[in-house]
Amino acid sequence: MRIVVTGGAGFIGSHFVRQTLTGAYAAWADAQVVVVDKLTYAGNEANLAEVADTPRLRFVRGDICDGELVGQLLRDTDLVVHFAAESHVDRSISGSEEFVRTNVLGTHTLLNAAANAEVGKFIHISTDEVYGSIESGSWSETEPLEPNSPYSASKASSDLLARAFHRTHGLPVCVTRCSNNYGPYQHPEKVIPLFITNLMDGRPVPLYGDGGNVRDWLHVDDHCRGIALVAENGRPGEVYNIGGGTELTNLDLTERLLELLGADRSLIERVPDRKGHDRRYSVDITKISTELGYRPEMSLENGLEETAKWYLTHRGWWEPLKKR
C-alpha cells in the first residue's frame, strides 16, 4: 500500500501521517507513506519528528503545482490524501492570489496526475466554509455552495474540480468537509492556539466584533479518524461532512480559554469585525455516521485541556512561529 499525503507537514496532515505510521489505522498498518509539502510558513518538518525515523516514511519538499514532480510521485499510488492548502481566512482577505494558485491550480495539477496514474482513491480535504453562513439548522452535503471569503471560494472551486474529475474521468474521488479544527501542532495564527499562547504570556486576545459568531469545534484526532473511514470505505464521487458536534460562539470559546488558563476577562480585546465574516457554520454529520460509523470521541472540555497543556509544554515549537 502506497499513500501520498500532500501538506503532510502541516497541522492536520502531519497528525494524519503520525497516526498512520504509529498504527492508529489498522487498514494501513504496513503502508508506505510519501509526504509532499512545500514547507510554507504553515508547514514544519518538526511536526513529523515523532515518525521521522520510520522506514515507511519518505518526505519530499515540493510544490503541488509542479506537474512533473506530482506526476512522478503519483505513479503506482493506491491512495492520495490531499491536505495541502492555504487556509487562513484573514490572509485570503489581504491577498488571495496564492489561495487561487495553491487551492485551485494545485488541486487541478494533482487531480490530473492522479487520473493519468490511475490512482486507486483520492481524498480531497475541504471545509464547511464552502457552504457559507447558516442562521439555523445544519448543512447537509447536498446544499449549494455559497462561499463568502476568497479562501472558501478557492476551496469550493477545488471541490467542484474534484467532482468533475470523478464524473468526467472516473477518478475515484471523495470530498470531506470539516468544521473548525483544533489540537496540538496548530499554527499560532489560528484562534485557539493564538489565544492560548497569548494568555500564557499575559497578553490580550483579539475578539472579532460582538463575539457572537458560531463555530462547530472538531478535534484533529476525530477529523483524521473520519478521513481514514472515508478513505477506506467512502463511496467514490460522494461528499462527507465531518463535524465535532460542539457549537460555541467565539465569546463562549474565549471565556472557556480564559478559565482554563486562569486569566481575567480584562484580557479580552475587542477588535473590528472581519470583512464578510460568516455568522454561523453547522454541518450535518448524519451521512458519515450512518454509512461509515463515525462519531466524534473527544469532548471539547478534554480537547481544550489537552491542547492547552501541549502548548504549555511546547513553547520551543510555537514561540519561533509567533516571532516570525
Going from N- to C-terminal start, the domains of the chain cover 2-181+219-242, 183-215+246-275+299-323
CATH, domain range 183-215+246-275+299-323:
3.90.25.10
Cross-strand partners of 32: 2
What is the pLDDT at residue 197?
Answer: 98
Residue 41: per-residue pLDDT? 87
pTM given for the model: 0.96
Catalytic entry in 37, 63, 86, 128: 128
217, 244 Cβ separation under 8 angstroms: yes
| The predicted structure's pLDDT at residue 67 | 97
Instruction: Based on the residue annotation, tell me whether 185 is a catalytic residue of this protein.
Output: no
One of 63, 129, 216, 247 is an active-site residue; which one?
Answer: 129
Amino acid at 17: V
Cα–Cα distance, 99 to 88 (Å, whole number): 9
Contact 2, 31 (CB under 8 A): yes
Q: What is the DSSP string of 132-153?
A: ---SSS-B-TTSPP---SHHHH
State the pLDDT at residue 93. 83
Contact 158, 209 (CB under 8 A): no
pLDDT value of position 275: 87
User: 2-181+219-242, what's its fold?
Assistant: Rossmann fold (3.40.50)
Is 97 noted as a catalytic residue in this protein?
no
Select which of 25, 151, 185, 281 is catalytic. Answer: 151
Does an H or E element contain 303, and which?
Answer: helix 300-312
How many Å apart are CA 247 and CA 180, to the nearest integer? 10
How far is Cα of residue 230 from the mean position of the Cα atoms in its chain?
A: 15
Active site residue 128: yes
Under-50 pLDDT residues of the chain: none
Instruction: Say if CB 250 and CB 234 are below 8 A apart.
Output: no
Q: What distance in Å separates the CA atoms of residue 150 and residue 93, rounded to the nearest whole number? A: 6
> Which pLDDT value is given to residue 90?
80
